[in-house]
Chains A and B, each alone.
Chain A
Amino acid sequence: MIDSNLVNDLKPRPFGLWGRIWTVVLVIMTLIGIWAYYRQIQDGLVITGMRDYAFWGIYISNFVFFVAISLVGSLVTAILRLSGAEWSIPLTRISEIIAVAAIIMAGLTIIVDMGRPDRLMNLFIHGRLQSPIIWDVIVITTYLFISLMLLYFPLIPDFAILKNEKGNPGWIQKGYKRLAINWNGSKLQEKLHQRGIFILSVLIIPVAFGIHTVTSWLFATTFRPGWDSTNFGAYFVSGAFVVGAGGVIAAMYLLRRHYQLEKYITDEHFNKMGKLLVMLCLVYLYFNLNEYLIPAFKLKKEEEIHIYSMLFGHYAPLFWSVIGFGLVMPVILLLFRKWRRPFPLFVISVIVVITSWWKRYLIVTPTLLHPSMPIQGVPESWAGYSPTWMEWAITLGTLTMALLIITILVRFLPIIPIQEFSDHMKKTSSHES
Chain B
Amino acid sequence: MKRTDNDRRDFLKTSAAVAGSVAVLGLSESCTRQKDSEMVQILDQDGNIIEVRRDQVEETIKDDIRVREGMKNRKFVMVIDLARCANARKCVSACNKMHSASTPNDWLKVLKMSDSEKTAPYWQPMLCQHCDKPPCVKVCPVDATFKRRDGIVLVDNDRCIGCRFCMAACPYSARVFNWEEPSAVADVEHALESPETSWPPQKGTVGKCDFCPDVVEKGELPHCVTACPNSVFFFGDLYEDTVTNGSETFRFSKLIKDRAAYREMESYGTHPSVYYLPPSNRLYDFEEGLENYSEFKQDSLENTEQP
Contacts and interface: CB of A to CB of B under 8 A. Distances in A.
Physical contact A–B (CB less than 8 Å): yes
Interface in B276-307: 295-303, 305-307
Residue from A49, A223, A224, A380 having most chain B Cβ neighbours under 10 A: A223
B142 A126 contact: yes
Interface string A118-146: 01101101111011111001000000000
A377 B298 CA distance: 9
Contacts, number: 176
A39 to B, nearest CB: 9
Interface size class, chain A: 35 or more
Given A44-B204, A52-B104, A126 B112 contact: no
Interface string B145-187: 0000000000000011111110111011101111111000000
A137 B161 CA distance: 14
Nearest to B268: A223
Instruction: State the main secondary structure of chain B at its contact with A.
Output: loop
Given A44-B204, A52-B176, A377-B104, A114 B167 contact: no
B246 interface: no
Interface string A217-255: 011011110000000000000000000000000000000
Instruction: State the main secondary structure of chain A at its contact with B.
Output: loop
A406 B300 CA distance: 42
A390 B103 CA distance: 25
Contact of A126 (B143, B173, B303): B143
B205 A116 contact: yes
A388 B305 contact: yes
B20 interface: no
Nearest to B92: A377
A123 B161 contact: yes
B67 interface: no
Contact of A389 (B181, B203, B302, B307): B307
Nearest to A378: B104
A388 B177 contact: no
B135 interface: yes
A222 B169 contact: yes
A113 interface: yes
A114 B161 contact: yes
Nearest to B114: A374
Interface in B107-121: 109-113
Contact of B163 (A113, A223, A376): A113
A153 B301 CA distance: 52
Contacts of B180: 43-46
A120 B203 CA distance: 15
Contacts of B307: 386-389, 392
A376 B141 contact: no
B297 A378 contact: yes
Q: Which 9 A-B pairs have the closest CB atoms?
A: A115-B162, A115-B204, A379-B299, A46-B180, A133-B141, A380-B296, A131-B141, A46-B179, A388-B305
Interface of B: 103-106, 109-113, 126, 135, 138-144, 159-165, 167-169, 171-173, 175-181, 202-206, 265, 268, 295-303, 305-307
Given A46-B303, A114-B204, 16 more contacts: A52-B105, A52-B173, A55-B167, A55-B168, A113-B163, A115-B160, A115-B206, A116-B160, A125-B142, A130-B138, A131-B165, A218-B168, A372-B172, A374-B112, A377-B109, A390-B305
